[in-house]
Amino acid sequence: MEENVLFDPPAELSKNARIKSMDEYRALCKKAEDNYEGFWGDYAKEKITWKKPFDKVLDESKAPFYQWFVGGKLNVSEQCLDRHLETRKNKAAIIFEGELGDQKVLTYRELYYEVNKTANLLKNKFGIKKGDRVVIYLPMIPEAAVMMLACARIGAIHSIVFGGFSADALRDRVIDAQAKLVVTADGAYRRGKPYMLKPVVDEALTDECTSVEAVLIVQRNFEEIEYVSGRDYIYNELIKDQPVKCEAEVMDSEDPLFLLYTSGSTGKPKGVQHNSAGYILWAQMTMEWVFDVKENDTYWCTADVGWITGHTYIVYGPLAMGATTVMFEGVPVYPDPGRWWRMIEEYQVNQFYTAPTAIRLLHKVGNDEPAKYDLSSLKVLGTVGEPINPDAWLWYYNEIGGGKCPIVDTYWQTETGGHMITPLPGATPIKPASATFPLPGIIAEIMDEDGNPKPKNEKGLMCVTKPWPSMIRGIWGDPERFKESYFGTAKKNGQPVYFTGDGAIYDDDGYIVITGRTDDVINVSGHRMGTAEIEAAAGNHPHVAECAVVGKPDAIKGEGVFIYVVLKGEDNLAEEVDVMKEINQIIVKEIGPIAKADEIKFVPGLPKTRSGKIMRRILRAIAKGEEITQDISTLEDPSIVAKIQTCVLG
């Protein structure tokens, strides 16, 4: 079985890699274990251009509110731009390709000017100061990166909202973050046609959004939009007169850099907070170690800046290390499913980073498309966002990588800021569907709730038992939820430790295999969603008495959204089709099209324990069409299981 074979790193790649062998890897791990603070302190000194050196590596006194590089001063935009001007001023920082094939290259010098001008605009025109929140609702255009770095330059905290979120979802985030400014675009292009963003912002910004003073609009597709006078401003016009130098704000290591809202198992989305020094250090180090990008390489990550992968591995990581990063506005299948492969050939991409859902989609299209293009520039392939199945892995390895490119299956989360468990391309023998081992300095363990390590092939909790520099610093405005969500499940030596929410096993060779979420979070096409959020939306339909959402395995998307709905007593089932349609309309309105249900089933009741807790395990099994083998005697009404099965399976 090819699935159980280990693939060694290519000798040529290992020879020049930053980490060249498993021995080197183990030595680094040992170094970190022997002197944890020394390990991190040395890297922080080496990698970060400090305005003032830090006094202390790690302060654990307020655990789990850990502080890193205490007393240090820096500015993340300087780390990403200014320090490269001496040696890389004319190097491409961002290579942009639009959906329609338009191209734009920003050198480090040009990007530096754009960021400085934008920083001046934010500061002088909109009065944005250190600590103010700026919500960014932009398509995948270079201005998104410019805006992020401009915020960083003046010490403002950006919070990007993915363009696929609805007006309601955007409003919730604007209010939670108390944003002073919203940056958006008229719209952009998808599948060759213009689509609009500004109208969504107009709908989002109701009277409840009292914090918002202005809306800044980047013109991208130049379609007609409505202006609210005194609130709306055009970026393209205002930016012209701005001075090209803006003094970078002196930021503390622990000053917030950004918020990024993500889904949890309960309640509304949480604003994950990342701070300056620890985040940028790990973004840069993982870029260097995991993708092994060299000075003249071209690196491409296909994520959207609205997700953490876009933050760390399109913008901050690549720019901090001085790499050339490709940014693409569009989808992989427009105008044809060879688009990505053509771009790899055209830009001679060396490292390519994408998600399993896209790999599966393009795998399904077949081998003809990639075979048309010269993909020989590729050296390292990456995957992220959800477990990758061996089939998709092997296709990626053989057909895209030509059997010569290591795949880095990078396991991490919004909360971890950067990679946690992943192969190193020049060192780790890889196998399909395993994220392999924790990076040096990351103490990640599969254990039970009391900290006992799990033996091989037994599923346990994927935990991180020591703090690390790029870890989440808090949930915006909700310290209790932060403690409870991440440090409320597992302990080691009696001390609360970080639990990821994922299950995992050590396989026969001791390799880590991530098995997926153990909580009520589902992963649809790599988009992370809380079942509770979708349930809250669906529950707003007037005919819905109650409902339960589970993920159902899907060949392309990883998981699909499956909703069990109990209608109110006297409701007429003849209307079911309408109700189904309307439920999805509500979901699209309240969350966005990414959360739409793939299947909705009407059932007479939900399987509940006597204490009223819905047993989603049973619902997941029924959705999959599995036999129910687990004990259902603890259910309030065990006969409900057979009734639900009849409704689902017919």
Q: Least distance (Å) from ligand WTA to the CB of residue 444? A: 12
Least distance (Å) between residue 282 CB and ligand WTA: 13
Minimum CB separation from ligand WTA for residue 67, in Å?
Answer: 23
We find the least distance from the C-beta atom of residue 323 to ligand WTA, in angstroms, to be 19
> Closest separation between CB of residue 4 and ligand WTA, Å?
18
Task: Pick one of 221, 410, 436, 470: the residue that binds ligand WTA (CB under 6 A).
Answer: 410
**What ranges in 48-166 are assigned the alpha helix state H?**
76-80, 85-88, 108-120, 142-154
Query: Which of the stretches 5-13, 122-130, 301-309, 487-495 binds ligand WTA when contact is defined by CB under 6 A?
Result: 301-309
Q: Give the DSSP per-residue string, 468-481.
A: -TTS--EETT-HHH
In sequence order, which residues have a C-beta less than 8 Å from that of residue 273 and are 6 or more positions away? 256, 258, 259, 472, 473, 474, 475, 476
Q: Does 308 sit near ligand WTA (CB under 6 A)?
A: yes
DSSP letters, 176-195, are HHT-SEEEEESEEEETTEEE
Distance CA 120, CA 151 (A): 10
Site for ligand WTA in 491-530 (CB under 6 A): 500-502, 514, 516-517, 523, 528
Q: Which of 176, 399, 409, 533 binds ligand WTA (CB under 6 A)?
A: 409
Least distance in angstroms from the C-beta of 551 to ligand WTA: 11
Q: Where are the alpha helices (DSSP H) in 19-82?
A: 22-34, 36-47, 76-80
State the nearest-atom distance from the C-beta of 525 to ligand WTA, in Å.
Answer: 11
Establish if 414 lies at the interface with ligand WTA (CB under 6 A). Answer: yes
Strand pairing partners for 273?
Answer: 259, 474
Task: Report the residue from 116, 166, 253, 262 that binds ligand WTA according to the rule CB under 6 A.
Answer: 262
Q: Please report, as a single letter, which amino acid is at residue 127.
A: G
Task: Tell me if residue 72 falls in helix, strand or coil.
Answer: coil
Measured from the CB atom, is 166 or 414 closer to ligand WTA?
414
Cα–Cα dist 523/544, whole Å: 24
Number of residues that bind ligand WTA (CB under 6 A): 23
Measured at the CA of 338, the angle between CA 333 and CA 344, to 5 degrees, comes to 115
Question: Does 386 participate in binding ligand WTA (rule CB under 6 A)?
Answer: yes
Q: Closest residue to ligand WTA, Cβ-based?
A: 414
Query: What is the closest distance, in whole angstroms, from the C-beta atom of residue 454 to ligand WTA in the complex?
Result: 17
Residues 79, 253, 273, 309: which binds ligand WTA (CB under 6 A)? 309
Residue where the block lists tokens 């690196």: 299
Q: Does 413 bind ligand WTA (CB under 6 A)?
A: yes
Binding mask 528-557 for ligand WTA (x = CB under 6 A): x-----------------------------
Site string for ligand WTA, 557-596 (x = CB under 6 A): ----------------------------------------
Of 216 and 355, the one with the shorter C-beta distance to ligand WTA is 355
Helix axes 576-590, 531-538, angle to 10 degrees: 120
Which residues, numbered 417-436, are part of the site for ligand WTA (CB under 6 A)? 435
**Least distance to ligand WTA, CB of residue 352, Å:** 15
d(Cα 421, Cα 436) in Å, to the nearest integer? 7
> What DSSP letter does each residue of 609-647 carry, written as one string?
BTT--B-HHHHHHHHHT----S--TTBS-TTHHHHHHHH
Minimum distance from residue 516 beta carbon to ligand WTA (Å): 6
For residues 161 and 137, the answer to whether their CB atoms sit within 8 Å is yes
Residue positions counted in the chain: 650
Q: Which residues contribute to the site for ligand WTA (CB under 6 A)?
A: 262, 307-309, 384-387, 409-414, 435, 500-502, 514, 516-517, 523, 528
